[in-house]
């Protein structure tokens, strides 16, 4: 860990894992996941999302989220909770309702009150708001934004702070790892807007879904963290994976290893701000990457046959 609060891996409920059905023979997977020497933290990749926890208005179901929350508890892992307000994997009713402002405010408050209330005391961090920015750094035109404008962002953080005062509250997004990116500037603006309004926001989560052949330098990562440090107390790498364009070869695995090492290096060198690193699952067959980015894969640390990527030792040596 080299002074970081944690190094962890996200995981999914068995039935939800990208490769289905999930055979019992994946006991090797569970053994790695549960080994405290490998991972000291976890995040549910899907189980706490709106679609699963509030599939119908006011109807809550914590079965999927509990799988990972209980695993964290049983194996002494820090739990990062993900995500209260997000435009994607939203229950369909949220998008089909003809909202009044007041109606949508109430729906957001009820959702956060129930979900963060249910998990109160167990979530070290909450991703209160996920991916609220477009590629150009302006606000994403989600149902939340279209009805309420910027107000929904303040409402989400204010409500989360009331419901779970102990949890560290995060703004989380992808493509906000480089200092010159307009989206990074947007993330700084977003959290500054909250701070200026006197609203609690503790951290920025850089998802860090990166590319082996075109990744940020360690200096870039450190400079970006420096920008967030101006406006929040902490940052974390929350969904790290480093995709490779198939076919996989030694050269690309080497670039991948360098990328993973740069993230470790940047976090360790700024550990007064950077609290930890989470990889977005650890076993290639369970990665979301090939499903969403065809032609890419092998983005994690364990290959299908459970042998390790060069990035594993690369990182261990770098810590
Ligand atoms: C992904 C999951 O890994 C997939 O299983 C699911 O089908 C889609 O969502 N940014 C996020 C995560 O904040 O919640 C996403 O997780 C990946 C991108």
Tell me the CATH number at 253.
3.20.20.80
Is 199 a domain residue?
A: yes
Is 154 a domain residue?
A: yes
pLDDT for position 20? 67
Which residue in this structure is represented by tokens 């409402």? 155
pLDDT for position 161? 98
pLDDT for position 317? 87
* Ligand 1 atom with the shortest distance to the CA of 172: 13
User: Is the distance from the beta carbon of residue 130 to the nearest atom of ligand 1 less than 6 Å?
Assistant: yes
β strands within 87-218, DSSP E:
125-130, 168-173, 203-206, 209-211
| Cβ contacts of 250 within 8 Å, gap of 6 or more | none
* Ligand 1 atom with the shortest distance to the CA of 10: 3
Is 124 a domain residue?
A: yes
Which residue in this structure is represented by tokens 């070869």? 249
pLDDT for position 25? 65
Is 1 a domain residue?
A: no
Is 289 a domain residue?
A: yes
* Ligand 1 atom with the shortest distance to the CA of 127: 13
How far apart CA 17 and CA 21 sit, in angstroms, is: 8
pLDDT for position 22? 67
pLDDT for position 275? 98
User: Is the distance from the beta carbon of residue 299 to the nearest atom of ligand 1 less than 6 Å?
Assistant: no
How far apart CA 221 and CA 239 sit, in angstroms, is: 15
Dihedral in degrees, nearest 10, Cα atoms 261, 282, 92, 161: -60
- CA 139 → CA 19, 135, 204, 293, distances in Å? 34, 9, 16, 24
Per-residue pLDDT of the chain (319 residues; tens, 9 = 90+): 779 999 999 999 988 887 766 676 689 999 999 999 999 999 999 999 999 999 999 999 999 999 999 999 999 999 999 999 999 999 999 999 999 999 999 999 999 999 999 999 999 999 999 999 999 999 999 999 999 999 999 999 999 999 999 999 999 999 999 999 999 999 999 999 999 999 999 999 999 999 999 999 999 999 999 999 999 999 999 999 999 999 999 999 999 999 999 999 999 999 999 999 999 999 999 999 999 999 999 999 999 999 999 999 999 988 8
Residues designated as active site: 131, 239
Is 214 a domain residue?
A: yes
User: Is the distance from the beta carbon of residue 13 to the nearest atom of ligand 1 less than 6 Å?
Assistant: no
Residues shown for the chain: 319
Residue located nearest, by CA, to atom 12 of ligand 1: 45
The number of distinct structural domains making up the chain is 1
CA–centroid distance, 103 to ligand 1, in Å, is 28
CA–centroid distance, 152 to ligand 1, in Å, is 22
How far apart CA 129 and CA 97 sit, in angstroms, is: 21
Residue 233 in 3-state DSSP?
coil
pLDDT for position 170? 99
User: Is the distance from the beta carbon of residue 11 to the nearest atom of ligand 1 less than 6 Å?
Assistant: no
pLDDT for position 200? 98
My answer on whether omega of the bond before 63 falls inside 30° of 0, hence cis, is no
Domain that holds residue 260: 6-318
Tell me the best of 44, 48, 85, 89 to mutate to test the pocket of ligand 1, counting ligand atoms within 8 Å of each CB and taking the most.
89
């Amino acid at each position: 860990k080299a002074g970081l609060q944690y190094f962890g891996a996200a995981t999914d409920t068995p039935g939800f894992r990208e490769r289905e059905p999930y055979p019992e023979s994946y006991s090797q997977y569970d053994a790695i996941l549960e080994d405290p020497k490998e991972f000291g933290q976890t995040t549910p990749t899907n189980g706490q999302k709106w679609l699963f926890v509030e599939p119908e208005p006011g109807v809550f179901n914590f079965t999927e989220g509990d799988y990972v929350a209980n695993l964290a508890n049983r194996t002494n892992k820090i739990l990062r909770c993900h995500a209260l307000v997000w435009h994607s994997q939203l229950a369909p009713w949220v998008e089909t309702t003809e909202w009044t402002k007041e109606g949508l405010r109430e729906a957001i408050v009820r959702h956060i009150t129930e979900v963060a209330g249910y998990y109160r005391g167990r979530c070290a961090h909450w991703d209160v708001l996920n991916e609220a920015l477009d590629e150009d750094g302006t606000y994403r035109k989600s149902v939340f934004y279209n009805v309420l404008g910027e107000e929904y962002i303040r409402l989400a953080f204010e409500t989360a702070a009331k419901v779970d005062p102990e949890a560290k509250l995060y703004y989380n997004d992808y493509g906000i790892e480089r200092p010159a990116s307009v989206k990074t500037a947007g993330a700084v603006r977003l959290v500054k807007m909250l701070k200026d309004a006197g609203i609690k926001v503790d951290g920025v989560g850089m998802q860090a879904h990166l590319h082996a052949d075109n990744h940020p330098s360690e200096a870039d990562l450190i400079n970006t963290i420096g920008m967030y440090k101006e406006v929040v107390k902490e940052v974390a790498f929350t969904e790290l994976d480093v995709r490779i364009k198939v076919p996989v070869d030694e050269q690309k695995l080497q670039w991948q290893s360098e990328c993973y090492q740069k993230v470790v290096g940047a976090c360790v060198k700024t550990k007064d701000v950077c609290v930890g690193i989470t990889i977005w699952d650890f076993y290639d067959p369970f990665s979301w990457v090939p499903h969403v980015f065809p032609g890419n894969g092998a983005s994690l640390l364990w290959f299908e046959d459970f042998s390790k990527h060069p990035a594993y030792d690369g990182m261990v040596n770098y810590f």
